[in-house]
Amino acid sequence: MKFLNLHTHKLTNQDTVLELVNQYPQEFDAAIPYYSIGIHPWYIVEERLETDLQIIESKLPEPNCLALGECGLDKRIEIPLELQQIVFERQLLLAQKLNKPVVIHCVAAFQEVIAMKKRLKITVPMLIHGFSKNKQVAKELVDNGFYISFGKYLLRNPELETVFQSIPNDRFFLETDTVEEGIEEVYALAARYKNWSVDELQQQIKSNFAAVFKKKL
């Protein structure tokens, strides 16, 4: 594999790309080669919560399940933050119990996510996907042990160049999420921002992937 796509909602099935495809408990597709599975804060259904958590717990030990997620907190939706926090906490405890990294959706709730990691003493890797904020937020996340994944906003917002450059080399990943562009385009831009060749970038991400997921890319 030459490329890792840390988070996508669309399987392209290319030989050169390992895609970590986001799955939801009620829409699980066993044919997807590598996936994460979790309850997104947008799609919390309280009456279905126990069933969804049981499905997640049953899938996490599978070798093709690389992470729990995406899950997290979003202050810009109508679902009460208190309910989101309960659902997020239960998923973090599952990830800790079954030793799986966590792919996190976070909107305007970084302090709450950091506080929950500390309170629950979560030691499995926690990866903030789709990062779009400033250097100060990025530094606080890195200082608190998080990994940061860039994709859509890196392509769309030139101001993220200096933020991306500020991330330690062993703490970042790349993704496409929902954009039409391929992961190769994200790698090309990221390599330019780092003043690296694409091959150098690939080697760094292979190393980061091995450290977090205990697998070879």
Partnered with residue 142 across adjacent β-strands are: none
Please report, for the chain, the start and end positions of each structural domain, with discontinuous segments joined by +: 3-213
Q: What are the pLDDT digits (tens) for 162-205?
A: 999 999 999 999 999 999 999 999 999 999 999 999 999 999 99
Is the CATH code 3.20.20.140 the one for domain 3-213? yes
The CA-based dihedral angle spanning residues 177, 89, 24, 36, taken in that order and rounded to the nearest 10 degrees: 60
- Distance in angstroms (rounded) separating the CA atoms of residues 139 and 203: 23
- Is the pTM here over 0.85, yes or no? yes
60 pLDDT more than 90: yes
The CA-based dihedral angle spanning residues 174, 179, 183, 187, taken in that order and rounded to the nearest 10 degrees: -60
Q: What are the pLDDT digits (tens) for 76-134?
A: 999 999 999 999 999 999 999 999 999 999 999 999 999 999 999 999 999 999 999 99
1 pLDDT more than 90: no
Residues 161 and 137: beta-carbon distance below 8 Å: no
Partnered with residue 8 across adjacent β-strands are: 21, 177
- Distance in angstroms (rounded) separating the CA atoms of residues 57 and 6: 21
Mean pLDDT calculated for residue range 124-150? 98
Six-digit token string for 65: 């399940």
Question: Other CB atoms closer than 10 Å to residue 18's CB: what's the count?
Answer: 20
Mean pLDDT calculated for residue range 143-163? 97
